[in-house]
Amino acid sequence: MQSQQQAKKQLILLVIGAALILWGPQAFELWKSYRATQAELDTRTDEATEKLQDFFLDEKEPYHPDRPVSQDTPAAQPAKKEIVIFSADWCEPCQRWKRCEQEKFKALGYSLATGIGEVSPLPHFIVTDGSKTVEVSGYMTPQRLESELRK
């Protein structure tokens, strides 16, 4: 692509040179006008290129999705992992989950919330890992959660 632009410029220079020879002073004024216009376009292109390079090609700190691009840009937040639990005091699997499994899920980085409303069967879970949401009914272990999220 670069060589095509150079070839085009050389052709223009050749045409202008021929015009200078054939038409004398008028061709010289045309040549000066062309050079001034070309110099202005080159300056604008260079300024735009520098701005883009400053934005995208910061060699000291290359772009990283977890780092803000500038001070005004907020950093990317990690995906929120959450479990909404629908349970009842009279439900034995719900109480067993609270006693045995609840702390394991907190250790895996999930935040826990209590769901409001009637669902069946109990316990009922709505699980999100930031990219996928799954509904699961019945007693749930971390291994079952992983298998449900992979589906």
Condensed to tens digits (0 to 9), the pLDDT of residues 15-30 reads 877 766 776 677 677 7
Q: Is the pTM of this model over 0.75?
A: no
Residues of the chain with CATH 3.40.30.10: 82-150
Residue 25: in which H helix or E strand, if any? Answer: helix 25-56
CA distance 17 to 14: 5
- Residue whose entry in the numeric block shows the structure tokens 């000066």: 32
* Residues of the chain above pLDDT 70, percent: 75
Mean pLDDT throughout 96-118?
83
- Sign of the CA dihedral running 71, 73, 79, 83: positive
Return the higher-pLDDT residue of 125 and 65. 125
pLDDT in the model for residue 2: 62
The string of pLDDT tens digits covering residues 82-94 is: 888 888 888 888 8
Residue 66 has pLDDT above 60, yes or no: no
Residue 105 has pLDDT above 70, yes or no: yes
3-state helix, strand, coil in the chain (%, to 5): 50, 15, 35
Q: Does domain 82-150 have CATH number 3.40.30.10?
A: yes
Residue 76 has pLDDT above 60, yes or no: no
